[in-house]
Structure formats: structure tokens, C-alpha cells
A and B are shown apart, each in its own frame.
Chain A
Amino acid sequence: MTDDLEPPQPRSTPRFEWSSVIGPAIVGLLFIGAWYLLAYNLDNNFTPSGKPVIVPPPHRLFEDTQLRDCPGGLDFMLHGTLPKGSPVPPGCVVTSKIVQATITTVKTAVVGLLLAIFAGMALAVMMSFAKWLERALWPYLIALQAIPIVAITPLVIRTIGANFSARVLTTVIISIFPIVKNTLFGLQSADQNQHDLFTLGRSGRLTRLLKLQLPNALPAVFAGFQISAGLAVIGAVVADFFFSRGTTGLGRVIVDFFLNNQGGPMMICAIITSVLGISIFVSFGMLSRLAVGKWYVVSTHSI
């Protein structure tokens, strides 16, 4: 065996380091500390009877919600259907509202994101095929992503009504740009030598797209998915501020809780929103590893 046939040593897996646990733990404790400070120093944060209004201290976060001993069980939680005549504790009503709103928001964000992925990738592929299309559409895509979601939602609602499609459409509008941008970047970043190789093989545009440009684009495409995933959740929640009828999502119930001085449920909704964003982000990160991890070294910082 000759020495140039020695494959390079695979880089050793990074050692476990305490700083990667201690750092976040300290920041977490500081955050909870700041939360307590805020809760007890904010003006008028407690009613005369001692009930928190806007920011409940962490240990009193779940005071207004109730999961146990709710009548109607799962059916009530998921659909708000009440068994006849039975009294419902107010905490159960709040929990049911949050659960239903979460389901609506998840549906909106996921359907919106999937549509944005299909439409965005299709658009990017078309733009990579036709330079004139890229030139024609690009300024408007940038304009679209520069419009704040709150400015465009009312227009969408007036146009197609305050229904599920309107929620989904606003989510698509806010989350499509990174997908188009990253996919197009990936498609165009195959290097000249690789293209030469396909020229030697006398490949057409389609073969080039399927066997060179798309695989080459995958890491960038997945990075785009991750950015869009966060945007989709934000889009679904913010757009929801404008919806007052039907099964509302987290955005609307946050407004409701705010108007009712129910600080606890409001913060729970905010936390759920964050957890949703993180879960979609992490799942796409894992999907990305599954798809390209074998050949593309995903940086450890992108999860």
C-alpha cells in the first residue's frame, strides 16, 4: 500500500465540555432572576387581592390554567365541546382555549411552511432556468419580504376572507423568501469544473438540474428551511391578531388574555410559540443531517 492511499483520519468527535452546559445554565438562571425582579417591581402588576396581572412570577405561571378534573376530557380540550349542564372550572376553559389555539397555529404554520417550500423551490428552479424570470421577479420578492406582515394581513383577509386559507397565505408570504433565495443560491453555486464534467457527459439542462444543481443546493436549501420555519411560526401568530372569529390561533388568544389581564396564560402562549419555533427549527436541522450529513459537514452550531 502506498501512503497516498491512506485516507485522512476522520476528525474525532468533539469532547464533552462542561462549559457547554454551565454557560446556558447560568444564562437560564439569570433569565429567571430577571423575571422575578420584573414581576415584583413592575407597577400595578398585582391586584389588591394579590393576583398577578401582566407578569406572574415563574412559580405562579400556571395559576389561571387547569388540566386536571376538567369535564368533557379530551373532547373538551381539543374542540371546546361542553358536556351539557356540567359546571366548568374557569381554569379548564383557559387551558382548552390555549390547546385549541396551539393546534390552529401549528396547522397554519406547518401547511404554510410546506406550501412555501414547494412554491419557493419551484420558483427558484424556474428562475435558475430563465435568467429573465429571475431579473423580472427578484425586485418584487425583495419588496414582498420587506413588507411587515401586519401590513399585508388585512389586505389578504379583505381579499379572500378571514378563513384558514388566509392564515396560510400570510404564512406563505412571510416565509417564502429565504427558501427562494437559498435554493437559487444553491442551484447557482455548482462550480464550473462540475459543470464541465456534465458538458463532457453531454448532459441536458434537466440532467444537470437533477444530478448536479439540486444535490449541490441541498445544504443551502435546508438552511433556508430552518430560517423559514421560524418565520412561519411568527407569521402564523402575528397574522392571527387580525382574526377574531372561528377557531383562533395563539396570536388572537394572546390578545384576549392581555385584554382580560390574564398574564399567566399570556406568557404560557408566548412560551408555546417559542417552543413551536424551536421544534420546527430542530426537526429541519435533523432532517438536514439525515439528507446531507453523510457528505456535508454540518457545523455543530446549526443543530
Chain B
Amino acid sequence: MQDKGLTTQSSDTTALRFDRVSKVFPDGTHAVDDVSFEVAHGEFVTIVGPSGCGKSTLARIAGGLDTPTEGECRVDRSSIGYVFQDATLLPWRTLQRNVELIAELKGLDRAERHRRASAAIATVGLDGHQAKYPRQLSGGMKMRASVARSLVLEPELFLFDEPFGALDEITRERLDDELLALFAERHFAALFITHSIAEAVYMSTRVIVMSARPGRITGDFPVPFSYPRDPDLRFDPAFASLCGEVSHCLRASHS
């Protein structure tokens, strides 16, 4: 029997739908409370909230790594690109074989996954490092490898769980830009989790604000700026003003 939380169904425009989703962990932690929203194809939705507000739990539920206690999450899980906070590379595999991993687990044949992985590695700018082991890569390179791995299945939906949070700011902004370039080119649907307001506004078509635990949606802001986005957008008054609104909403939901 399919668990009610694992229902798989894709409609025409919706890539991901949360329908009154709540999550209480066995230890009693009430992580998410009555969350409903949709991510349409071509939409880049970012959830921003304080640490421990259950935003990562939403990504995990969407990816099928956790099941909701109540409500349901509708998503086509046949090909999801999932990028964790840590690069989560297998240290005994070379970069090439790490990028191939998910395709290998899903049973793609050797030649096909090699071709796709090589293309993905080139896309993230790691050409020439295929034979290296993770310990020979810098933090930024590992995250690039992790993004490449999620690209291999050519998914329609990406889940980014605070993907570049552990990197320094310069590297993070660079990787954000490259991710946006990919988004502009491929128009996938994305659910991006972060605790940085500026990153949220800069990346997304829409910013959803969550309150502290139990996580509820307290704000939903469309972002009007067009793609491709210029790094200087960060210094635009309209950008600053939107960041201010999001920040205000965050603080209001905190108190």
C-alpha cells in the first residue's frame, strides 16, 4: 500500500504541491504545521526562516526522505534533483563515479550514465578533475560535484536544502549565480531552502517566509525581477526594499 504521503501524481503546471502538511517527529518535535503551497514548473521558490523552523523537513518530505504526519505532498518523484547542505560525496569514489551515483542506482547503463555525468561535470566547470577523489577537492568543488550529480537525471524539479550554506560568501555568491544561469537556461522548478534573506530574494521568483517551530507559512512574496539577474541587483533600492519586507515579516513571525 502506498503511504498517503507518498502519493505520486503530476499535473500539468504544478511540479510540487504541499497540501496541509504537518510533521511531528517521534520524539515529539513539531517541525511543520499545516503548510500548503505549490511550486509551478519554471518557478524558483525559496523558503526562508530561522534555524530549526522545519524548512529542511519540507525539502525532505518533498524528496521522499521523510513522510508527513498529516496532509500530503504531491510530487513526481521519478526524477528529482536533490542537493544537500553537505556535498555528501562518497569518499571512495572519484568525482566522475560520484556524479554517476544516482544514475547508477536508478539503473542507467554504463555508457549513458558516463555520457551524462561527463556533461554535468562540464556544466559545473569541473572538467579535468574527473579522476580526483573528494579529499582532493576544495569545498566549492565538492558542492559543484554535488550539483552535477543532481543534474545527471535531468530532473524537472530541484530541491536545494541550504546547498551552499557551509561555503564562504564569495564562493556562495558565485555558485548562486551559476545556479541561476542554469535555471534561466533549463526552466526547471526549484524549491530552495536558506536562512539568508538576500540569497532568497536574489535567487527566486517567489519567497515564502516560515515562522519558528512549529514552522508555519507567515509570508509569501513574489519577486518581480527578471532573469538573468545581474549581481549588482543586490545593490538596487527595489531589491533592498523587498529584502526589508521579507525581514520585517520574519521578525514579526518571531515575536
Contacts and interface: CB of A to CB of B under 8 A. Distances in A.
A and B are interacting partners: yes
Please give me the 9 A-B residue pairs with the lowest Cβ-Cβ distance, nearest first: A201-B105, A4-B140, A193-B88, A4-B171, A215-B92, A295-B133, A295-B92, A295-B91, A201-B102
Interface string B42-84: 0000000000000000001001110000000000000010101
The CB with the most chain A CB atoms within 10 A, among B63, B82, B135, B139, is that of B135
Contacts of A194: 88, 90
B129 interface: yes
A182 B65 CA distance: 29
B106 A201 contact: yes
A109 B90 CA distance: 35
A85 interface: no
Given A198-B105, A200-B63, A200-B82, A8 B138 contact: yes
Contacts of A292: 92
5 contacts: A4-B175, A7-B129, A7-B132, A201-B105, A202-B106
B187 to A, nearest CB: 22
A194 B89 CA distance: 8
B38 interface: no
B138 A10 contact: no
Interface string A263-303: 00000000000000000000000000000101111000000
Interface string A224-268: 000000000000000000000000000000000000000000000
A255 B82 CA distance: 66
B134 A7 contact: no
Nearest to B143: A4
A5 B91 CA distance: 18
Interface size class of A (residues with CB under 8 A): 20 to 34
A203 interface: yes
A193 B65 CA distance: 10
Interface residues of B, number: 37
Interface in B121-141: 125-126, 129, 132-141
Contacts of A199: 64-65
A222 to B, nearest CB: 13
A201 B135 CA distance: 24
Given A202-B106, A203-B105, A215 B90 contact: yes
Contacts of B132: 7
B176 interface: no
Contacts of A215: 90, 92
Nearest to B129: A7
B19 interface: no
Given A198-B105, A200-B63, A294-B133, A4 B174 contact: yes
Interface in B10-68: 60, 63-65
Given A292-B92, A294-B133, A295-B92, 17 more contacts: A4-B139, A4-B141, A4-B175, A5-B125, A5-B141, A6-B138, A7-B132, A194-B88, A197-B84, A199-B64, A199-B65, A200-B65, A200-B82, A201-B102, A202-B106, A294-B92, A295-B134
Contact of B136 (A8, A203, A216): A8
A212 B139 CA distance: 22
Contact of A193 (B84, B140, B171): B84
Contacts of A197: 84, 88, 101-102
Contacts of A6: 138
A200 B105 CA distance: 9
Interface in B78-121: 80, 82, 84, 86, 88, 90-93, 101-102, 104-106
A202 B105 contact: yes
Contact of B91 (A203, A211, A296): A296
The CB with the most chain B CB atoms within 10 A, among A4, A10, A297, is that of A4
A218 interface: yes
Contacts of B174: 2, 4
A44 interface: no
A81 interface: no
Interface string A177-196: 00000000000000001101
Contacts of B65: 196, 199-200
B102 A193 contact: no
B75 to A, nearest CB: 13
A163 interface: no
A246 to B, nearest CB: 45
Contacts of A198: 105
A295 B135 contact: yes
Contacts of A7: 129, 132, 136-138, 141
Contacts of A2: 125, 174
A197 B63 CA distance: 10
